[in-house]
Amino acid sequence: MKRLMLACALTLGLQVPSLAQWKPAGNRIKTEWGEKLNPDNVLPEYPRPMMERKEWKNLNGLWDYAIRSCGEAEPKAYDGKILVPFAIESSLSGVGKHLEGSQELWYTRQFEIPSGWKGKRVLLHFGAVDWRADVWVNNISVGRHEGGYTPFCFDVTDALQKGSNKLSIRVWDPTNEGPQPVGKQANQPKGIWYTAVSGIWQTVWLEPVNDTYIASLKITPDIDLRRLRIEPRTGENEWKGCRIEAEVYDDGKLVATGAAIRGEAIDICMPENMKLWSPDTPFLYTLKVRLKRNGVETDVVNSYAAMRKFSHKRDADGAVRMQLNNKNLFQFGPLDQGWWPDGLYTAPTDEALIYDIQKTKDFGFNMIRKHVKVEPARWYTHCDRMGIIVWQDMPNGDKMHEWNQRDYFTGADLTRTPQSEAIYRKEWKEIMDYLYSSPCIGVWVPFNEGWGQFKTEETAQWTKQYDSTRLVNAASGGNHYPCGDMLDIHSYPGPEPFLYDAQRVNVIGEYGGIGYVVEDHVWEADRNWGYIRFNTSEEVTDEYVKYAKELKKLALKGFTGAVYTQTSDVEIEVNGLMTYDRKVIKVNEQRIREINLDICNSLK
């Protein structure tokens, strides 16, 4: 019957729903959001809330794809349909195929420019593509980007034509066989290494701008000076005749303004009764930034900012404490890997993206450690709005599976190739630039557990110099050097630190890992693991509370932060507070919330 209806629709020239051309690949568990996904309306939300314009066009949806050997020309015929922006290995892509290092992934689709954009420059944006992307419009090369975790865009105006335009993308991604950052992706997933993520995995979109436009904003609050600094960059190097104006609003009421010329920073004096951001009161000011050239407004963007300060200070008992807004705060949250059984790196919907953050708040945490992954911009905006501090990891890389245990247990930094070092530095800088203006980011974590750790002291020093407004956790659970702002110990299963540094902040960067298999909600029924294993929710909750009480004692003795492993199960890991499909909460939520709030408030 379905085939007959489809044939009739095609015969009559009717538009055929994308559902007829797409279905999830494989038979793994799925989230409720993935089960209800509409391929004609994939992640429709504006993808860059920190700098929002009114006009834009979403290119998510069904594209043509092909897998070819490296070096081949663009295919004349493609292999089938892929649902963008889900990685080709994922179920929601509709493909579910693995990409070999000797292969390249091709994408193509047609698009049209809205008539109202006539006379405008057109920017083609990619949220993230893993790893190397070459892009053509109408067979004209418009640019190349390398890096799997940060957004990029090309001005494609001069390649456009009237009517339909052809967009083609070629992607190469060697996953853990290459020198680039990959996080926990693996060509052969097992244990703590997960399914690879190749190609487009965040929203693709178009945006019209004038010849002179705002390319980026760097926003820095200073609560001690009561100042908000906005550093703009235009889409061209020429600032002649340009003036930037900024307006600050509190619930629709204009409370402060500032302006600058020649690309200078705007320093805005905030009200004496300015509102501070914290997990308890995550207040955000609304910003409107205008660019004028020779008195004519050429661009306006909406943004937001928070007045908050991350720092550390020695308390009356001699312990070095993390502070938020000049007050001691125990930062406590889960290790959040950001993986989904159906979308892998990509949450099926924005509601799913919000869900994990909301459950973190419901559990009573005030922080998330984003583990060796970088999220779409909307995830950080949700953390800003909901009030969650984020410790941001740098995704590790450089053939990690070949060396991580050797170098970790010998306590020696890895010797990387010049190419690998250059890639690391480039991508770490891009990640910091991308997330700099997000109020929620409180800690930068350049290395995790010796995975790709190299030139630790130099890297920590550079990170701190590049952004002095956040704390630097040089190596979470890694090879320890007297650098950065904190000493971070990993201890499984219970929080039992074996080192203490009287000169720096002390934290338990990972502990817990209490495993519990919930039948019908696991990635593989016959293969799963946890650091320790229990059989009921009550047993898991009891063990969690036992560890939390030990953590509370450590907080009173001088420790000032901790990370519990982990938010959800991931593939064959069953250490989550939730199942991988997010359908079952594996603990007694109320008991967990009570003890977590007690720990978070222990230094107040």
pLDDT at position 525 is 87
Closest C-alpha among 336, 331, 231 to residue 559 = 331
Give the closest residue to 363 by CA, choosing from 587, 32, 602, 601.
587
d(CA 85, CA 95): 12
**476-502 per-residue burial string, b: 16 or more CB within 10 A, e: under 16:** bbbbbeebbbbbbbbbbbebebeeeee
* CATH topology classification for 2-30+61-202: Jelly Rolls (2.60.120)
Residue 565 has a pLDDT of 97
Query: Would you place residue 401 in the very low, low, confident or very high pLDDT band (cuts 50, 70, 90)?
Result: very low
Please tell me the predicted confidence (pLDDT) of residue 233: 86
* DSSP H or E run through 407: helix 400-410
Task: Tell me where in the chain the CATH 2.60.40.10 domain(s) lie.
Answer: 217-305
- What is the rounded CA–CA span in Å between residue 476 and residue 459? 14
Is the overall model pTM greater than 0.85, yes or no?
Answer: yes
170-202: per-residue pLDDT in tens?
A: 999 999 999 999 999 999 999 999 999 999 999
CATH 1.10.1060.10 given to domain 217-305:
no
Q: What is the mean pLDDT of residues 30-46?
A: 97
Model confidence at 7: pLDDT above 60: no
Write down the pLDDT at residue 263. 85
Q: CA 16 to CA 1: how far, in whole Å? A: 15
Q: What percent of the chain has pLDDT over 70?
A: 94
Q: Which residues of 584-594 are buried (b: 16+ CB within 10 A; e: fewer)?
A: bbbbbbeebbe
Supply the DSSP symbol for 570: B
138: its two tokens? 């109408």
Q: Give the per-residue pLDDT at 411.
A: 52
Residue 1 has pLDDT above 80, yes or no: no
Instruction: Write down the pLDDT at residue 325.
Output: 98
pLDDT higher than 70, residue 580: yes
State mean pLDDT over 376-398: 96
Q: Has residue 2 got a pLDDT over 50? A: no
Predicted confidence at residue 526, as pLDDT, reads 86
Q: Is the dihedral of CA 117, 120, 123, 124 positive or negative?
A: positive
Q: Which pLDDT does position 19 carry in this prediction?
A: 66
Examine the pLDDT at 413 and tell me if it is beyond 80: no
In CATH, what is the architecture of 310-600?
Alpha-Beta Barrel (3.20)
Report whether pLDDT(214) > 60.
Answer: yes
Where are the CATH 3.20.20.80 domain residues in the chain? 310-600
- Is the bond into 323 cis (omega within 30 degrees of 0)? no
Is pLDDT above 70 for 576? yes
- 268-308 per-position pLDDT tens digit: 999 999 999 999 999 999 999 999 999 999 999 999 999 99
Given a cut of 80, is residue 408 above it in pLDDT?
no
| Location of each CATH 2.60.120.260 domain in the chain | 2-30+61-202
Residue 591 in this model has a pLDDT that exceeds 70: yes
For 368-383, write each residue's pLDDT tens digit.
Answer: 999 999 999 999 999 9
Q: What pLDDT score was predicted for residue 164?
A: 97
pLDDT digits (tens, 9 = 90+) for 451-480: 989 999 999 999 999 999 999 999 999 999
